[in-house]
Amino acid sequence: MSSLNRRLSGFATLAGLVALVMYTWGLLHLGGAFLEAEDGGTGSAPIPPCRGNEQVEHVIDYSVSWLPLSFDCEMQGGGSYPSEAIPGYVNPVAVGSALAAVGCAIASAYVAELQTRAGARKGEAT
C-alpha cells in the first residue's frame, strides 16, 4: 500500500468518524428535545423546545426528522417551523464529513487500482 493510498484511507476513516460523532451529537440534542416535549405537568405548554419563537402560542404538536436531523414545531392551521433544539452546525458538518469520507474512500480505491495495473504492466514487460 502506497503512502498516498494510506493517507486517503486515513482521511476517509477520520471523516467517517467525524460524521458519526456529529450525527450522534445531533441525536443527543434531538433526544433531549423529545424528552422535554413529552414531559407533562406544570410548564409543559407550550412545548418547551418550541418556546424560542414568537409564534409559540400557535404550536399544537411537533414532528421529528431523522435525516436531516430536525425538531419541527407544528402550528394550528398547518405550517411548521424548526426549533433551535439541534445546533445549526450539526447537519452540515455531518453531511460534509460523510461526503468527504466517501470521496476519500473512492479515491483510495482508484489509487490502489492504478497501482495494481502499473504493477501488472511491469510484470508483463519483463
Asked if the model's pLDDT at residue 126 lies above 70, the reply is no
Distance, C-alpha 26 to centroid of its chain? 7
How far apart CA 67 and CA 70 sit, in angstroms, is 8
pTM of the model: 0.84
How far apart CA 51 and CA 45 sit, in angstroms, is 9
Percentage of residues of the chain with pLDDT beyond 90: 59
Nearest CA among 96, 103, 95 for reference residue 69: 95
Task: Name 37's Cβ contacts closer than 8 Å, sequence gap at least 6.
Answer: 47, 48, 49, 50, 62, 71
| Model confidence pLDDT, tens digit, residues 30-82 | 999 999 888 877 767 778 888 877 777 888 889 999 999 999 999 998 889 99
Q: Give the largest Cα separation in the chain, rounded.
A: 84
